[in-house]
Amino acid sequence: MAKVFSKRSTGENSSELVKVIQINEYLKHVIRISMSINLIALNAMLISRRSKADSSGYNVVSVELREFSQRLSLHTQELREMIFRMVHFVAIMKKKIHFTSKYEIILKKHEKAGAISAVVLKKLRDDIKGIQATTHKESRKLLRHTDFVLKLCEMGSSIYRNARVEAAYVSDLTSELMIVADTIENSVNEILDLLHKVVVLIEDY
């Protein structure tokens, strides 16, 4: 009886698990940053309320920032749920491949059991193919949603630029508003960097 799952295929499966775990770590970091952006947005709204009448433009920017941070938090949480499902499926697939490999070794030692066990072996292989197909489908969904969040962040980058422009017109709070704008810029850029790494890993999956 030919062995279907070689050491190479088992190794590839382990590599897939490593990749989805790495993606999960990147996304956890993205969520932490998006939560910090949410706090920055709240701070920006408080600053705009304390400022004088000539800060109406910054009031608008702070509201936009708050809306952006809420959307970002929502969509990054969805990314996390997607990758959690992928980790789950890949872990199950790894276990099934390992069990199937062991099962094939046992069958080779007990030729008489081959005919009886052929049905079981086919079921195991079909299960693995099904999980592989599901995992691939989940990875495509994750890639599409990651692209969406990337575009959202790229649009969000215009907000910190607007914040910097508006800060120049609020003389009493210029330094505070500039700090907010700089912090947003750094946070958004860090998220963009992490999401680009996620895209590379998914495309290599």
What are the b/e assignments for 166-204, b being 16+ CB within 10 Å? bbeebeebeebbeebbebbbebbeebbebbeebbebbee
| Token pair 């914040």 in the structure block, residue | 163
Which regions in the chain score pLDDT beneath 70?
Answer: 1-14, 51-58, 110-116, 167, 170-174
pTM for the full predicted model: 0.76
Cβ-Cβ contacts under 8 Å for 109 (sequence gap 6 or more): none
The whole-angstrom separation of Cα 162 and Cα 165 is 5
| pLDDT (0 to 100) of residue 54 | 53
The whole-angstrom separation of Cα 196 and Cα 194 is 5
pLDDT tens digits along 139-182: 999 999 999 999 999 888 888 787 777 767 766 666 777 787 88
| Token pair 């599901």 in the structure block, residue | 134
Pair of tokens at residue 42: 């709240």
